[in-house]
């Protein structure tokens, strides 16, 4: 077998390895491996409350809380958390949410690809977030 044939076989082998690696990175297993947990939450700003509606990855459907200026609320997959800045024992994701005027500030603490996000949210307007950021942006 000549040198050209061996190089050709090695190239095919490396291409197959690369395809397998890309397939793994796009799979749900890689998300678990890298610490993100799938969820989808719609955030709605009302006059006096923030309303959250979860369509994926939560043990709850809707949550709402008073949206007083600069008040921070912890949210995880089990609901609202008040355990000293940590989520529940069974938390798959955890983030802080805070409203200031017409803006919402989020700080990802566990299970999110983002560490911080902020966006404008007028009264009766909503945006959807997931483990990767703002959906549709």
What is the DSSP annotation of 117-136?
Answer: EEEE--TTEEEEEETTEETT
- What is the tens place of the pLDDT at every residue in 67-82? 777 788 999 999 998 7
The token duo for 75 is 């949210």
Beta bridge mates, 31: none
Q: Which residues 6+ apart lie within 8 Å of 61 measured at CB?
A: 53, 54
pLDDT tens digits for 90-113? 789 999 999 888 899 999 999 999
Tell whether the model's pLDDT for residue 15 goes beyond 80.
no
Q: Is residue 75 within 8 Å of residue 69, measured between CB atoms?
A: no
Q: In 3D, which of 118, 127, 130 has the Cα closest to residue 58?
A: 130
The strand pairing partners of 41, in sequence order, are 54, 129
How many residues are there in the chain? 137
- Threshold 0.85, pTM exceeds: no
Domain ranges of the chain: 3-33, 40-134
């Amino acid at each position: 077998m000549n040198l050209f044939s061996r190089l050709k076989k090695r190239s095919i082998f490396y291409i197959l390895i690369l395809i397998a690696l890309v397939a793994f990175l796009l799979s749900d297993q890689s998300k678990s491996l890298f610490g993100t947990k799938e969820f989808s939450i719609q955030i709605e700003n009302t006059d006096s409350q923030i309303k959250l509606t979860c369509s994926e990855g939560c043990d709850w459907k809707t949550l709402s809380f008073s949206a007083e200026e600069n008040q921070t609320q912890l949210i995880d997959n089990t609901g609202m958390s008040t355990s000293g800045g940590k989520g529940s024992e069974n938390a798959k994701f955890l983030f802080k949410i805070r409203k200031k005027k017409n803006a919402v500030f989020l700080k990802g603490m566990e299970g999110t690809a983002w560490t911080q996000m902020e966006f404008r949210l007028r009264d009766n307007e909503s945006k959807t977030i997931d483990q990767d950021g703002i959906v549709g942006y």
